[in-house]
Amino acid sequence: MKAVHRELILFDVDAENAEDAIRQIGAPLLEHGYVRDTFIDAVIQREKEYPTGLQLRTMGVAMPHTFGVHVIAPAVCVAKLAHPVEFRHMGEGDVRVSAEILFMMAISDPKKQLETLSNMMGVFVNDEAMIEFANARGTQELFEAARRYIG
């Protein structure tokens, strides 16, 4: 499955907080027809109940997502933020993570959700991959890293 598309790579996103980041990063998914108009609000609601922030060895990230009913076609939107935004930690909601990069997943098939999340975790524990994401100096470099490591 080709999940990474050039129009879904965002660089230098200036977000005020986690909800603003989700709204800005969800917009291209909606604009390009990957998700339904219910997707962004559903991601925000799900993030409140099941936080997705992760503190990696190299940086903080978040992978906001929601249920397949809100998705038209599978995709991953990768966004490097202009400055870190605070997300609640996955599994430890009282812990905060300063996320620098967001990987917003639009997963249409519920059976593939666990597989996709597992694949993303494999990328997150790959320090070389995450350093490449962190060092990307523009949309093209971010896109190349995303294609190489996510698909």
The count of structural domains within the chain is 1
Joined together, the tokens standing for residue 138 give 């523009």
pLDDT for res 100: 97
Mean pLDDT of successive 10-residue stretches along the chain, which has 151 residues? 87 97 98 97 96 94 94 95 96 91 90 78 92 96 94 83
Please tell me the distance from the alpha carbon of residue 147 to that of residue 25, in angstroms, as a whole number: 18
User: Can you give the pLDDT at residue 1?
Assistant: 52
CATH number at residue 77: 3.40.930.10
Terminal Cα distance for the chain, rounded: 7
To which residue do tokens 């076609």 refer? 73
* Structural domain that includes position 139: 4-149
Predicted local distance difference test score (pLDDT) of residue 113: 72
pLDDT at 112: 75
Please tell me the pTM assigned to this model.
0.93
| Residue 24 confidence (pLDDT) | 98
pLDDT (0 to 100) of residue 63: 94
Q: What is the pLDDT of residue 114?
A: 73
The pair of three-digit structure tokens given for residue 34, joined into one six-digit string: 């990957």
Which secondary-structure segment (H or E) carries 6? strand 4-13
* DSSP calls for 48-108: HHS--EEE-SS-EEE--B--GGGBSS-EEEEEEEEEEEEEEETTEEEEEEEEEEEEEEE--
Q: How far apart are CA 124 and CA 29, in angstroms?
A: 22
